[in-house]
Amino acid sequence: MNNSSKLKLMFVVASRPNFMKVAPLVKEAQTQGIKFSIFYTEQHKSELMTGIFAKELGLPDADYNLGLKSKVKGTSKLRKGFALINSFNKARKIIRKDNPSCVVVVGDVISSAYIALVTRSLSLPIAHVEAGLRSFNNKMPEERARKIIDKFSNFLFTPEKLASNNLVKEGKNPKNIFLVGNIMIDSLINNIKEAEKMEQFKKIGLKKQGYAVLTFHRHENITKRERIKKLLGILDNLSKKIPVVYPLHPATKRQLIKFGLLEEIKSIKNVKLIDPLGYKEMLNLVLNSKFVMTDSGGLQEETTYLGVPCLTLRTETERPVTVEVGTNTIVNLDKNKINSKIGEILEHKYKKGKIPELWDGKTAKRIIEILKNENNTNI
């Protein structure tokens, strides 16, 4: 990477949220005439979950597809082992063939960590966008993934100061840490005008500021029947105060069916179950809502930027700035705390929040400039 004119980047896309994080980087690379490729691990492979996002964000087709979650018959460790070895070898061949100057990995998805390991084995530089975020809950697959990616990355691009501090405490070289802002906000700013025009909430039969949005799909939430039952109790109570719209993630739906709870949630009046939405449709829904209840990291960030109250249905967050500066409150599935905060929201007594530093829509530009600047390369 001694000559920026020869810079070639490989952007890794692993899951649905990754599209929003890669899109601004791709756009900036195109603007600056930088060569790039897109490597899709296919961790979420469906039109419903990913195809819509890629199209509406204007991303070109992927240059490479891994198919990491390939259909392997049987569940034996031997079969899984062979599948993993085959995927590793395939990924290694793809990256070697493409020969990028740097592999750019975003977020905290397991297959992204997998690609970081493969890239490391080839002794190629790795850049991690959203580095340093920590929930300090090692049971979370996302926490383990982000630690692995950070461990092997040469460029650690952080969205907030606390993330940078986390990396320093873990012994990372400060020269490799770059506070660049929040890449998700780049996508939000780039798409908010179109999202505002969509009026998705009206299509669902809702009134502006007259409903709440719910998302609930984290592994630690949906794999435990008692947590889903708690959520249903909270929904039953909440729906008597305000309509709730719930875009149902396929993984959550599978768990609801497994635990025999799908019909129960369907029976709760004033709760509208809908299919997952495209990025702009969801943005329109959030923008016009009274508040959001979620276990999604991205929504914690988006609501903070938009000034929409957010109640996070987890015991912790890897995005503490959304709580300390923004509109987010950690409530877990504590019925009393949730009722108290909803009361504050409905009575217009909830905190207002502010937009954190560098959440200005210029994160992608800062990242690309750093990768171009040979004086800042630490490889």
- Look up tokens 């979950």; give the residue: 49
Lookup: tokens for 162: 């606390």
* Helices 141-152, 110-121: crossing angle, 10 deg rounding: 20
44 part of the active site = no
Pick the catalytic residue: 128, 217, 219, 249? 217
Identify the CA nearest to 368 among candidates 358, 376, 379, 360. 376
Cβ atoms of 57 and 23 within 8 Å: the answer is yes
- Within 8 A by CB and 6+ apart from 340, the residues are none
Write the DSSP assignment of 109-135 as a string of letters: -HHHHHHHHHHHHTT--EEEETTT---
Report the largest interatomic distance among the alpha carbons of the chain, rounded to a whole angstrom: 62
Cα 147 vs. chain centroid, distance in angstroms? Answer: 16
Cα–Cα distance, 186 to 156 (Å, whole number)? 18
Positions annotated as catalytic residues are 217
